[in-house]
Amino acid sequence: MRVAMVDIGTNSTRLLIADVEPSGTVSDLVRHSRVTRLGEHVDSGGDLGEEAIERTCAVLADYRRLIDEHRCEANLAVLTSAVRDARNGAAFTERVRNDYRLDARTLSGDEEAQLTFQGAMSDRQPSAEPTVVIDIGGGSTEFIVGHDHTAGFHVSLQAGVVRMSERHIHSDPPAPEELQQLALDTRQVFLDGLPPQERAPVTRGIAVAGTATSAAAIDLELDPYDPARVHGYTLLLATVDLLLARLADMTDQQRRDVVGLHPDRAPTIVAGMILLQEAMRAFELDHVEVSEHDILRGGALRLAGLG
């Protein structure tokens, strides 16, 4: 079955077109990711801004053409943190549904976490090892703890790269006190939302989405980006610490020239590294496995009736 999944996030808008076999094998045909910053200023203003909406809609028009060209049998567009939080989020969801003929749904944090876990675990052998999947987004971070292919505890916490950048980073490069406050804020959000009894058993971490894949690509000095080398990459906490120190010492323009980092992620990557650092520390992980498989793959499997 040929399906199309669109993830309309706070920071980026992504597309996966794939063939899904009854066995659960997913063959990617098209993958695109564009930084659209839909959630820009939602944390402070409460609404999706017109410029952010139009940036996102321009990308959705391109994605709709690709979906038509590939004759997809089903589609799903998931909208997450920014749209959940915005006063005009429901109106934007309706526009996506009507203007781009997408089955647009605003996911709850729980639904987002479940689809992400399903995607991250889809190509893995069953294992009883307690695992946390960490999904750092633009407006929120999802944590899903489970084993085998079954999610147990899951939570969506209000700390993401756009939200935390806008709250705390006002200098270029960031001032040390801004970084300290961002880290303290993130740590408190994570510790408040992650009960000790859920954190303690975890022995393995899988990190998905743009912050983790960017960290791997920078460490590997990938140009161009190579998803095959990023998927499964072991990212050490010590490496995240070094990358944070390096990137935080640069201006936004200097970060845009870093090999392995997409220029559009330069404004939020410092916050992303702090979020990843604090997430790993919360679970006492000295490394995580980076995965290319996330909510897009989980949604594709669900569209094919396998989720």
Inter-residue contact 198 to 112 (CB < 8 Å): no
Longest pairwise C-alpha distance within the chain: 53
pLDDT attached to residue 99: 97
Q: pLDDT per residue over 237-263, tens digit each?
A: 999 999 999 999 999 999 999 999 999
Tens digits of residue pLDDT in 54-80: 999 999 999 999 999 999 999 999 998
Q: For the chain, which ranges sit under pLDDT 70?
A: 307
How much is the pLDDT for 307? Answer: 67
* Entry pTM: 0.89
Name the H helices within the chain.
42-45, 50-69, 81-85, 89-100, 109-121, 161-168, 176-193, 196-199, 210-220, 227-230, 237-248, 252-255, 269-282, 295-303
Q: Helices 269-282 and 210-220 sit at what angle, rounded to 10 degrees?
A: 100
Q: What is the pLDDT of residue 152?
A: 85
Mean pLDDT of the chain: 94
Residue 269 makes CB contacts below 8 A (sequence gap 6+) with 161, 211, 214, 247, 255, 261
Domains by residue range for the chain, with CATH? 2-109 (3.30.420.40), 124-291 (3.30.420.150)
Q: How far from 82 is each of 97, 103, 266, 279, CA to CA, in Å?
A: 17, 18, 20, 21
For CA atoms 180, 185, 188, 191, the dihedral sign is negative
What are the φ and ψ backbone dihedral angles of 293, each rounded to 5 degrees? -95, 120
